Amino acid sequence: MRLGVAVALVDGELLAGDVEIDALGTVVEVGIGAGVGTLLAVPGLIDLQINGVAGVDLRIAERDGYRIAAAALAGRGATAVQPTFHSQSLPAHVDSLRRLGEVRADPPPGCRILAAHLEGPFLAPDRRGAHDRQHLLAPDAAVLRRLLAAGPVGMMTLAPELDGACGLIGDLVRSGVVASIGHTDATAQQVQAAVVAGARHVTHVWNAQRPITARDPGPVGVALSEPLLTVGLIADLVHVSAEVVVLTAAAAAGRLAATTDSVAVVGDVTECVGGGAASTSGVTLADGTLAGGTAMPDACLRNLVSVGVPLAAAVDACGGAQRRLLGVPSVRLVPGERAEMVVLADDLRPVRTVIGTAVFEPA
């Protein structure tokens, strides 16, 4: 089939013409003729932090919940996502990981469900944000081993200033898990020690972290200046202002990984529409604490472009940087590569997402 697009983003450059995919879901040809209409094809998006979506809390989801989430996210441009488990007891984490392992063994249609991102339990109590203090634990190698044995883990967020945290970072790296710095009151020196130990990501920079000052750069200052770190950013224009998004994108060019931090709107949280873009919103606890977002992956892309990030850099920040961090194969719109792309309208809203031979449209 042909996608019916006018232009495609090929290796960071816009190439006029249509794209053809064969019956096996492989790209056959790009740059066909003068293209069709005004639609644009770009590589599929990846989100590192999906707590929940479409009313589904992934911590407690069974296969049917993952089916709903995978289809909903695919319809909004995501071709892979990292389910994120937070704020629950250790036995609950073990159950979440067990269920995720079962789902990954027989994945539902939609975006690819990656190994879990564990946001905790080794977080700084004073920077816990919306996390429940009673579920936070001191770094413990035995607890980590239990979690890694319970199911697929691809990333863990922890506070490096906690006693024993850098040792666990080494354990994570040796286990093939990405160690991420977050929910932390660490000094710059403590963050740099975590990088030396093997940390390679910062979870939602600017949020739930020691703030940056001229003589106390903290996690943010290191994130913006350390080339070994990929910089996670909640790009809903609520958690972080447009001006700070611009600053972060400039400082972390090629290392920016946009995320929604999407949650299922359940329990004692209430949705509140934020400023900056009509498609963005945040979720707060009853006390006003931000507790995640409700934007979808395609909204992050539009928001980055809306504040002046060039299209190719914005697409990279919504998928390319994530793939490099996780070691997921790159997605290229070139002949011979598997089709994994999203077709966008003039306003960068998804028209359809192609994953192999499957096509998904926004609900």
What's the CATH code of the domain at 349?
2.30.40
Does residue 291 share a domain with residue 198? Answer: yes
DSSP letter string over 325-350? HHTPPP---STTSBPEEEEE-TTS-E
Q: DSSP string of 155-172?
A: EEEE-TTSTTHHHHHHHH
Do 147 and 15 share a domain, yes or no?
A: no
Q: Is residue 92 part of a domain?
A: yes
The residue range of the domain holding 109 is 45-326
Residue 25 lies in a domain: yes
In a shared domain, residues 197 and 67:
yes
Q: Which backbone phi and psi does 312 adopt, to 5 degrees?
A: -60, -40
* pLDDT reported for residue 282: 64
Per residue in 234-285, pLDDT tens?
999 999 999 999 999 999 999 999 999 998 864 433 333 333 332 345 666 6
Q: What is the pLDDT of residue 87?
A: 83
Identify whether 154 is part of a domain.
Answer: yes
Compute the Cα dihedral for 45, 47, 52, 58 and give only its sign. positive
Asked if residue 1 belongs to a domain, the reply is no
Claim to verify: residue 28 and residue 147 sit in the same structural domain: no
Check: CB of residue 41 under 8 Å from CB of residue 5.
Answer: yes
Residues 34 and 76 in one domain: no
pTM (two decimals): 0.93
- Is residue 106 classed exposed, middle or buried when 0-12, 13-18 and 19+ CB atoms within 10 A define those classes? exposed
* Residue 22 and residue 53 in one domain: no
How high is the pLDDT of residue 237? 92
103-152 pLDDT, tens digit each: 999 999 999 999 999 999 999 999 887 778 899 999 999 999 999 999 99
Determine, yes or no, domain membership for 2: no
The one-digit pLDDT tens for each residue of the chain (363 residues) are 899 999 999 999 999 999 999 999 999 999 999 888 999 999 999 999 999 999 999 999 999 999 999 999 999 999 999 999 998 999 999 999 999 999 999 999 999 999 999 999 999 999 887 778 899 999 999 999 999 999 999 999 999 999 999 999 999 999 999 999 999 999 999 999 999 999 999 999 999 999 999 999 999 999 999 999 999 999 999 999 999 999 999 999 999 999 999 988 644 333 333 333 323 456 666 666 776 778 899 999 999 999 999 999 999 999 999 999 999 999 999 999 999 999 999 999 999 999 999 999 998
Counted domains in the chain: 2
Contact of 227 with 202, CB cutoff 8 Å = no
> Residue 36: its pLDDT value, please?
86
| Amino acid, single-letter form, for residue 258 | A
* 247 within some domain: yes
Question: Is the domain of 34 the same as that of 132?
Answer: no
Indicate if 67 and 162 belong to the same structural domain: yes
Cβ count within 10 A of residue 305: 16
> How many angstroms separate the CA atoms of 81 and 294, rounded?
15
Say if residue 149 is exposed, middle or buried (CB neighbours under 10 Å; 0-12, 13-18, 19+): exposed
Are residues 63 and 152 located together in one domain of the fold?
Answer: yes
